[in-house]
Amino acid sequence: MLSPAQINYVQYAVQAVGLAVVAKVAITFVSAIYAFFLRPGKKLTKYGKWAIVTGATDGIGKATALELARKGMNVALISRTQSKLDEAATEILAKYGSIQVKTLALDCNNLDEAACTKVKTLLAELGDVGVLINNVGQSYDFPQYAHELSDEAARNLITMNITSTFLMTKLVLPGMVERKRGAIVNCSSGSARIACPLLSEYSAAKKCIEQYTLGVAGEYASKNIHIQCQTPMFVTSKLSKIRHASFMVPSPSTYAKAAVASIGYETIISPYWPHALQLYVFGLFPDFIVSKLALSSHLGLRARALKKQQQKKD
């Protein structure tokens, strides 16, 4: 039996915990409102004159390059196909003729010594590289069980999502260290933040990018180099295979505006606020529930993809 004094102590303790929880929620809410709706974007040219964007001819990559150009940065586009690079460069210059655009055709699935030499040559030509957007990546053709992935697909997922980010960051950092300024954005995925069955290797590769960013961000913060990991959910693109934009699935241009506005702030962020809200809600549930929901959704996508494959064969 508790004494009156002990009961009062328990009541005070419960009240204190309750107040702490309410305060945390309130601070999180106010911080989110400021970050997503009130906070101004940084002046990106303070990092340098040039921004490099990998995977820059489609989707988020091209939209990000356009947004960086709108902010007054010269942009260097890296992607595999020169004809697509030329088209993207022409589009950017048609809208923002006062900036410069350079291109480099590079297969990020084959980053051998010759490829790295090409990047080093580009860096020497550009000189003042202030921003690097490690956007290039690869997902599954459709949701698959881990044992169904071909050896080539498994290797490509690692090379495109991890190796390219590691190498591009390593190549750009020496110049940023010398100039004592810079910003690097590593593009991960919301799938790295939740259980993601049938996209297991992709989500694991993107989780690697998140962890890598946390490490190098700590290493280079004192050198005035900000390194950030952005974790979008679905965006209309060839990668997601979603064609029509909606509130929760923005167009690349809508997403890119939020992504560029977030450069230089948090180390890990989902810059488009409806995506951040989705991840927050997922975080309220146990992993096994999120896993079941994701599995159910991905099984539906898988069934439709397999049906299309069969129809093509017939």
Cβ burial of 284 (10 Å; 0-12, 13-18, 19+) is: exposed
Q: Distance between CA atoms of 237 and 259, rounded to whole angstroms?
A: 16
Q: What is the CA radius of gyration of the chain?
A: 22
CA pseudo-torsion sign 282, 226, 54, 113: negative
Retrieve residue 292's tokens: 């079941």
Choice among 96, 140, 202, 220 that is catalytic: 202
Q: Is 145 a catalytic residue?
A: no
Ranges assigned E (strand) in 7-163:
50-54, 74-79, 101-105, 129-134
**Best CA proximity match to 207, nearest among 158, 260, 271:** 158
Q: Which residues are designated catalytic?
A: 202
